[in-house]
Amino acid sequence: MNRLVLAMALAALLVPGAALAQSGAGDDAAPLQARLRALDADPERAPLAAYERLRARQALDALAGTRGTQARADARQVAEWRLATAEIAAATELARRQIDRLDRERSELLVEASRQDAARARAEAERLRIQAQIQAEEAERLRLEAEMESGARQRAEGALDDVARTQADRLRAARAREAELKRQEAELLKSLED
């Protein structure tokens, strides 16, 4: 494919150059014509800088029709400037398009990076939510266990208090009975002595 394009460009360069040589236009326009054809044949730059290429083509046509040494030198200078302007304009527009494409790619990459950051943040938030839920459930379990232990301790203390009260009541009753028996014994002894 590159050979075909090269052959076509070479043919395009040779045919007008030969016509110019035959018409007596001179060799000074041929390199400029070749540069313009190369610009037109470049698939990336061909659709760019149409106005500047038109002005360069008009300058080359004016050069072909110019007679006289000084007038021809001036026309060649103008044609060179116009052609250089067309080449620079095409290169500038191509660079601008590439910059725009790169800016779009950069924006797309930034958007994708933002999406990935947001997805990571959502995943981290979900992980933290689950972790907090697990911690809350564990705290609730420990609270319930503590309440159960507290209740069991209170019941045990209540049972111990009940046992202690019962024992204290029995002890009081036994002492009261002992005191009563001593009193009765003393009365019996007194009645026996009398």
Query: Is 48 in contact with 90 (CB distance < 8 Å)?
Result: yes
- The SS3 assignment for 27 reads helix
Q: DSSP labels for 99-131?
A: HHHHHHHHHHHHHHHHHHHHHHHHHHHHHHHHH
pLDDT for 55 equals 93
pLDDT for 27 equals 64
pLDDT for 134 equals 95
Q: Which of 6-20, 117-131, 133-147 has the lowest mean pLDDT?
A: 6-20
Which pLDDT tens digit goes with each residue over 175-186?
A: 889 888 888 888
Query: Is 90 in contact with 49 (CB distance < 8 Å)?
Result: yes
**Running DSSP on this structure, what letter comes out for residue 45?**
T
Confidence tier at 141 by pLDDT (50, 70, 90):
very high
pLDDT for 130 equals 95
Distance CA 75, CA 6 (A): 29
- The SS3 assignment for 65 reads coil
Distance CA 158, CA 125 (A): 48
pLDDT for 11 equals 41
Q: Tokens at residue 136, please?
A: 């809350």
Distance CA 80, CA 32 (A): 7
What are the φ/ψ torsions at residue 66 (nearest 5 degrees)? -85, 140
Question: With 0-12 CB in 10 A as exposed, 13-18 as middle and 19+ as buried, what is 3?
Answer: exposed
- The SS3 assignment for 151 reads helix
Which pLDDT tens digit goes with each residue over 7-59?
A: 344 444 443 443 433 344 456 788 999 998 998 898 888 888 889 989 999 99
Which pLDDT tens digit goes with each residue over 74-119?
A: 999 999 999 999 999 999 999 999 999 999 999 999 999 999 999 9
Query: Is 75 in contact with 63 (CB distance < 8 Å)?
Result: yes
Question: Can you tell me which residue has the tokens 């779009």?
Answer: 104
**Running DSSP on this structure, what letter comes out for residue 68?**
S
More confident residue, 130 or 42: 130
